[in-house]
Amino acid sequence: MNERIRILTDNRLFFCFRFGFSSATLYINLRLHLEMQTIQVVTRDFRANTQSPLLCLTAFSANMNFLGLLLLLCLQRNANGASEYPWTFDNDLLGGPDFWGLLNKHWRMCTMGQMQSPVNVDPSKLFYDSGLTPLLIDNNVVEAELQNTGQLPVLTINDSVVLSKNINISGGPGNPYRYRLHKVIIHFGRVSDGEKGSEHTVDFVRFPAEVQLIAYNTDLYTNFTEAMTQPRGLLAIAVIVDIGDITNTELRKLTVASQSITYKDSKTTLNKFNAFGLLPKTSNYVTYEGSLTFPGCYETVTWVIMNNPIYITKEDLQIWNDLQQTELKQPNPVFMFPNYRPLKTLNGRLLRTNIKVKYKRMAAPSCASNVYLDMGYQANPTRTVSSKIHHKRHFSKEQIFEENSSMTIEKMSPRAEILNNMESFDYI
């Protein structure tokens, strides 16, 4: 059954209504012929294996006064009634991020939520919080399973309570609770096209990849499944991945293991995995309250974005691009990349940091404040590269903030591109 339906129109209205169909699935393949102003609906399959499908009405308006109605039955295939409609990170498809909240009633936060992730770390909206302590993470070796889910490579930690060693996380914005690492997720773009794949951006600059370590609150909840839908349930550490000469040791282990999970639902076991090795050598971070970046987008996550990257070679990053969404080898494979969710708005949320920065102001502020409205938060403070979408701020020599505490800024030529010739750098 072909479960991917490509939308070929720009203007689209999407409405979903739930109907009480008893035990049938009508899968219809839809093609829109704008030139002929016709709609061809081809019945592809009919099965008696669902509980209550979603009837979705999709309305498209074309440039020549044409309005077509397309009908799609979104499948529900498991016995408990939770939707298993195939979701994707491709917004050109039904099932892409813009539609997650319409595919399943339990995923409504993907559309309606006001604290969604990922976000851009805006240089003008950092709040220094002196109460943010360093993260404390157990340096333990554990057993883990790496799986190709079809949408993401997901490493699941065997965190059973009967094990003598787990990877516990405390301190930082998670205080006073204790969290236990359960999943590690890798996001990446299309390497061959130079597409970057990090979910979080810094001053609207996207990086080659991002590793996310997701832990659940063991003080309040018994397992990850319970915690991910509950308040203060999850703590997620985002580690930016940049291109370098040598791949991070633990990331290299995952990269090699990924070659065993090329196809959807394939798995492999890592007997000795040390998540502590995925962290950069810094205690500096930015934190905010957000959500999971995949369905159901539950707003139960405290995010911690580390202030330094880890590195991967371009050749190793290309290996991740070999992962496929298809279950078996096919003549026309569907690859997993890119697998990052588009940015979401802050909607008034605070971006807090434990990095105390002194800022040189051109004029005295009107009132004292801990919010550094003019502070530059950039991967390269002196860069002049501008985005095609967002206008970049430029700083004069007098305006660049100076070092305080343990923060380091590497000075580069004014015209250096953001990711060129960087051996090490801080984002702030």
Q: What is the pTM of this model?
A: 0.71
Whose tokens are 């190709």? That residue is 148
Question: For residue 399, what are the contacts with CB-CB under 8 A and spacing of at least 6?
Answer: 360, 362, 374, 376
| pLDDT for 164 | 60
Q: What is the CATH number of domain 105-353?
A: 3.10.200.10
- With the CA atoms of 8, 12, 17 and 19 taken in that order, what torsion angle do they form, in degrees rounded to the nearest 10? -30
Position 109, amino acid:
M
Average pLDDT over residues 89-103: 92
The separation between the first and the last C-alpha atoms of the chain, rounded to the nearest angstrom, is 49
Average pLDDT over residues 308-331: 95
Query: Which of 349, 377, 417 shows the shortest CA–CA distance to 204?
Result: 377
Average pLDDT over residues 22-37: 32
Least confident of 149-158, 164-173, 236-245, 401-410: 401-410
Please spell the DSSP secondary structure of 193-226, one letter per residue.
GT----SSEETTB--SEEEEEEEEETTT-SSHHH
* Euclidean distance between CA atoms 259 and 236, whole angstroms: 26
| pLDDT for 50 | 36
Output the CA angle 348-235-114, nearest 5 degrees: 25
Are 400 and 382 in contact by the 8 Å Cβ rule? The answer is yes
Say what percent of the chain tops pLDDT 90.
58
341 pLDDT above the threshold of 50:
yes
Average pLDDT over residues 412-426: 35
245 pLDDT above the threshold of 80:
yes
* Euclidean distance between CA atoms 22 and 387, whole angstroms: 51
| pLDDT for 259 | 97
Who has greater pLDDT, 56 or 165?
A: 165
Average pLDDT over residues 371-383: 38
Instruction: Quote the radius of gyration of the chain (alpha carbons, Å).
Output: 23
Position 391, amino acid:
H
Catalytic residue set: 221
| pLDDT for 388 | 37
Question: Which two three-digit tokens encode residue 83?
Answer: 């939707």
DSSP summary character for residue 114: S
Buried b (16+ CB within 10 A) or exposed e, 314-343: eebbebbbebbbeeeeeeeeeebbbbbbeb
| pLDDT for 162 | 52
Mean predicted lDDT score pLDDT of the chain = 74
262 pLDDT above the threshold of 50:
yes
42 pLDDT above the threshold of 80:
no
Please spell the DSSP secondary structure of 129-144, one letter per residue.
-TT-PPEEE----EEE
Whose tokens are 């209205």? That residue is 13
Confidence of residue 302 (pLDDT cuts 50, 70, 90): very high
18 pLDDT above the threshold of 70:
no
Spell out the alpha helix ranges (H) of 229-299.
249-258
Say what percent of the chain tops pLDDT 70.
62
Q: pLDDT of 144-191, one tens digit each? A: 999 999 999 999 998 765 556 899 999 999 999 999 999 999 999 999
Least confident of 38-47, 121-130, 209-218, 375-384: 38-47
| pLDDT for 123 | 75
Total Cβ atoms within 10 A of residue 150: 18
Each as own residue / partner, the long-range contacts of residues 26-35 (CB below 8 Å, 24 or more positions apart, any chain) are: 26/53, 26/73, 27/1, 27/73, 27/75, 28/71, 28/72, 28/73, 29/2, 29/5, 30/5, 30/58, 30/70, 30/71, 30/72, 32/8, 32/60, 32/68, 32/70, 34/9, 34/62, 34/63, 34/64, 34/66
358 pLDDT above the threshold of 90:
no
* Euclidean distance between CA atoms 303 and 214, whole angstroms: 9
